[in-house]
Amino acid sequence: MIRSPLITVMSEAVIKASRSLKRDFGEVEALQVSIKGPGNFVSNADRKAETILREALEKARPGYGLVMEESGVVEGTDQSHRWHIDPLDGTTNFLHGIPHFCISVGLERDGQMVAGIIYDPIKDEMFIAEKGKGAFLNNRRVRVAARRELSASVVGCDIPHLGERTQATTLREIATMSARAAGLRSYGAAALDIAYVACGRFDAFFGRGLKSWDMAAGLAILREAGAFASDAEGGADPVAKGHIACGNEALHRELLDVLKTARATQPAA
């Protein structure tokens, strides 16, 4: 596994925040059966984990900017570096006591994602990558799956929440994809889904309505695992567009073709 000073800083911050999340998840499992529900509790758990991450990263790398799900953008004195932080990806799962969520931290340097960690605290699985040093799941090097046809592939997808503007497009894409792929899966934590492509559990993944903190770490990990990633139209900047398609070279190409077909079925305005 990578043991550079940068990865050490990131992994220590993530592990520290994960202890807080695991404690709070134990409380949520009890709270979720109440009539009121644990919504406020989960929001507090999210913010607490983000504070832990922010404090640890600012201490280790003062001056770096931050882009955070809960606290927004913090400009740093170092204009070349920015952390992209999601303290709890899979909030709805967490809210319902479903043990599938993660912490995601990516580092951007001069516009490129150069390092990422995605940590599933329940399974104790840490996906790590740093530019030029490979991608790892715990102590094992990982690579994207080698399947070359969608008909033999399991594809992950992100289903937007009710009322999101991308929902209609995504549902058309899912319908089109389901006729081409061996199977579709949506587990409710986009960062983990992207990490699953990097380690070969998913053969490909597509999702819309995503933010930089959903994708930043994953993009660094995908690249080091040999995957191809673009926005859903094949463009080079998924973060700017807010959508992503990824897989090995052959499946990425076929994935984009399916998504294009789905868009062509869009009803006229």
**Cα distances (Å, whole numbers) of residue 168 to 43, 145, 165, 244:** 28, 29, 7, 16
86 is in an annotated binding site: yes
Helices (H) and strands (E) counted in the chain, each on its own, are 8, 13
Return d(Cα 211, Cα 195) in angstroms, integer.
16
What are the DSSP calls for 13-52, one per residue? HHHHHHHHHHHHHHHHHHHTTSSS-SHHHHHHHHHHHHHH
Helix axes 212-224, 190-198, angle to 10 degrees: 10
Nearest to 234 by CA among 263, 266, 210, 257: 257
69 is in an annotated binding site: yes
What are the DSSP calls for 125-166, one per residue? EEEEEETTS-EEETTEE--------GGG-EEEEEPPPTT-TT
193 is in an annotated binding site: no
> Which residues contribute to the annotated binding site for Mg(2+)?
69, 86, 88-89, 214
Annotated binding site: 69, 86, 88-89, 214
